[in-house]
Structure 1
Amino acid sequence: MTKAAIIILAGTDGHDNLGRIVNGLEAAKEFAENDEDELELIFDGAGTTWIPELEDEDHDYHDLYQAVSDDAAVCDYCSGAFGVEDAVGDAGLVTLDDHDGHPSVRSLVADGYEVITF
């Protein structure tokens, strides 16, 4: 069994960040498709700004996002800081505030997850 925590940090600005989100979602999908793997997909920092974009059914990567959104969570603090808390709430995504309002990376490591950032 493989345990992977994929953390999306790239924001929505620029072509390079589009590549990061697509690569991150593809990696998440690969883990999600294997029933023996455990996946944590976390949108953190500027990565939280992808939520309203990817929730839009007309977005080019909406279907890819939907394939892994059941495994997704969002940094509570950052969703507020980047002004997307309403979109996160509307999407029904879990928010994480384990460490000073942010997800706990240490807990992921302690639980045996390989942490991969995009």
Structure 2
Amino acid sequence: MVKAAVVILAGTESHSDTGRLVNGLEAAREFDENPDDELELIFDGAGTQWIPELEDEDHDYHELYQSVSDQAAVCDYCANAFGVEDAVGTTDVVTVDENEGHPSIRSLVDDDYEIITF
């Protein structure tokens, strides 16, 4: 069994950011499709900006996102800092705030998750 935490940090500003997002979602899907693996998918920092975009059914990567969205969480602090708190609030994506408003990467490491950032 593999325990993986895929953390999307890439923003929405460039083609390379989109590439990092897609690679992160593809990695997340690969773990999610293996019934023996455990997956945490976290949108953090500028990556929180992707949630409202990916929730749009017309977005190129909406289907890929939907394939793992039930595993997704978003940093509460960063959603506010990047101006997407209200948009995230209209979705089913959970917010995480264990570490002063941020996800606790330490607790994931303590739980033997491999942390993979994109």
Same structural fold, with TM-score higher than 0.5 when normalized by the shorter chain: yes
Q: Identify the residue that residue 102 of structure 2 maps to in structure 1.
A: 102
User: Structure 2: how far apart are the matches of 1:82 and 1:55?
Assistant: 17
Greater mean deviation of Cα atoms: 82-91 or 15-24: 82-91
Deviations 1:11-58 (A, max 9, x none): 000000000000000000000000100000000000000001100000
User: Structure 1: how far apart are the matches of 2:62 and 2:56?
Assistant: 7
Alignment partner of 1:87 is 2:105:
no
Deviation at 1:91, TM superposition (A): 1.1
User: Structure 2: how far apart are the matches of 1:47 and 1:88?
Assistant: 12
Partner of 1:83, secondary structure, is coil
- CA RMSD after TM alignment: 0.5
Amino acid across the alignment from 1:40: E
Q: Identify the residue that residue 113 of structure 1 maps to in structure 2.
A: 113
Deviation at 1:87, TM superposition (A): 1.5
Partner of 2:68, secondary structure, is helix
Query: Identity across aligned pairs (percent)?
Result: 74
Residues 1-118 of structure 1 mapped to structure 2, 5 A cutoff: 1-118=1-118
| Runs of 4+ displaced beyond 3 Å | none
Deviation at 1:90, TM superposition (A): 0.9
Structure 2 residue ranges without an equivalent (≥5): none
Amino acid across the alignment from 1:8: I
User: Structure 2: how far apart are the matches of 1:94 and 1:55?
Assistant: 14
TM-score scaled by length of structure 2: 0.99
Deviation at 1:104, TM superposition (A): 0.4
Deviations 1:48-73 (A, max 9, x none): 00001100000000000000000000
User: Structure 2: how far apart are the matches of 1:92 and 1:26?
Assistant: 20
Count of aligned positions: 118
User: Structure 1: how far apart are the matches of 2:24 and 2:91?
Assistant: 19
Greater mean deviation of Cα atoms: 85-94 or 68-77: 85-94
Structure 1 residue ranges without an equivalent (≥5): none
Amino acid across the alignment from 1:46: A
